[in-house]
């Protein structure tokens, strides 16, 4: 089933767009099925769960942290995380820099923006990102690399609204690229789009789509310990 789903989805994703398989709440056997299909990028939203899976599964998997990250948990993922999608404060970025340094790594990060009209979503406003990028603290950091932006659209049937929200994220990306990262080799990532809206996200310039339930099926939170 998982491989059938992947075959169908991969056919809709253009070259240059990465498919991130969101495996949160799903067992390792499901991840291995996607792995055997050829998927190497997996997304999780909980530090403990991701670390457990990292330890158990093949070491060439690239683990993406896509959920809200608490500063006191950064140390658990710093040794291995491939990309943190959810940087939403200077304090968090400082902590990632500190823990990355201990591991002798440079950790790639995305700034997460609040672009949805829904209130529950985490994320920065453009002005807040500017404050981070202009801070002395950020300018001193040597162990983080900001590679782009991440955001979510409102969970709605209103496709015009979804288009507008993704356009907003793309325009924030363009603004930051022009004003802060014009020399950066790395700043090129726009992480947007989930199972229900990834096709719209690709039309609006996404470079990473984060797809969970369309690959692995609906999540059953009641089964979790």
Please check whether residue 170 is in contact with residue 190, taking contact to mean a CB–CB distance below 8 angstroms: yes
The 3-class secondary structure across 48-109, one letter per residue, is HHHHHHHHHCCCCCEEEECCCCCHHHHHHHCCCCCEEEEECCHHHHHHHHHHHHHCCCCEEE
Helix then strand then coil, in percent of the chain rounded to 5, is 45, 20, 40
Of 66, 93, 109, 202, the residue at the interface with ligand PLP (CB under 6 A) is: 66
CB nearer to ligand PLP: give 96 or 194: 194
Q: List 41's β-bridge partners, or say none.
A: 62
Q: Report if residue 154 touches ligand PLP, rule: CB under 6 A.
A: no
Binding of residue 210 to ligand PLP (CB under 6 A): yes
What number of chain residues touch ligand PLP (CB under 6 A)? Answer: 13
Q: How far is the CB of 41 from ligand PLP (least distance, A)?
A: 12
Give the pairing of strands 62-65 and 83-87: parallel
Residue range at the interface with ligand PLP (CB under 6 A); choices 49-57, 73-81, 140-148, 191-199: 191-199
Binding to ligand PLP by residue 194, rule CB under 6 A? yes
Distance set, CA 91 to CA 26, 94, 132, 136, 147 (Å): 31, 5, 9, 13, 18
> What's the closest the beta carbon of residue 126 comes to ligand PLP, in angstroms?
20
In contact, 43 and 84? CB cutoff 8 Å: no
* Window 3-22: contact mask with ligand PLP (x via CB under 6 A): -------------------x
Q: Which residues fall within 8 angstroms of residue 165, CB to CB, at 6 or more apart?
A: 115, 116, 117, 151, 153, 154
Q: How far is the CB of 138 from ligand PLP (least distance, A)?
A: 24
Residue 88: CB minimum distance to ligand PLP, A:
12
Does 45 sit near ligand PLP (CB under 6 A)?
A: yes
- Told to check if 78 binds ligand PLP by CB under 6 A, we report no
Only one of the segments 7-15, 47-55, 136-144, 210-218 lies at the binding site for ligand PLP (rule: CB under 6 A); that segment is 210-218
Q: Other CB atoms closer than 10 Å to residue 55's CB: what's the count?
A: 9
Site for ligand PLP, rule CB under 6 A: 22, 24, 45, 66-67, 194-196, 210-214
């Amino acid at each position: 089933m998982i491989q059938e789903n992947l075959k169908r989805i991969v056919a809709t994703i253009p070259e240059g767009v990465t498919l991130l398989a969101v495996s949160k709440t799903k067992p390792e056997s499901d991840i291995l099925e996607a792995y055997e299909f050829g998927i190497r990028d997996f997304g999780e939203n909980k530090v403990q769960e991701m670390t457990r899976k990292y330890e158990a599964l093949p070491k060439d998997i690239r683990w993406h942290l896509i959920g809200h990250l608490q500063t006191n948990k950064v140390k658990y993922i710093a040794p291995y995380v491939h990309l943190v999608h959810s940087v939403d404060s200077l304090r968090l970025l400082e902590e990632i820099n500190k823990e990355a340094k201990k591991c002798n790594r440079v950790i790639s990060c995305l700034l997460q923006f609040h672009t949805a009209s829904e209130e529950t979503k985490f994320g920065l406003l453009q002005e807040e990102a500017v404050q981070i990028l202009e801070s002395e603290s950020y300018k001193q950091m040597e162990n983080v690399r900001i590679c782009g932006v991440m955001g979510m659209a409102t969970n709605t049937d209103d496709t015009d609204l979804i288009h507008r929200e993704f356009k907003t994220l793309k325009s924030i990306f363009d603004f930051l690229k022009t004003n802060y990262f014009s020399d950066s080799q790395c700043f090129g990532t726009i992480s947007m789009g989930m199972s229900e809206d990834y096709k719209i996200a690709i039309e609006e310039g996404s470079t990473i789509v984060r797809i969970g339930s369309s690959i692995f099926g609906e999540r059953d939170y009641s089964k979790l310990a």
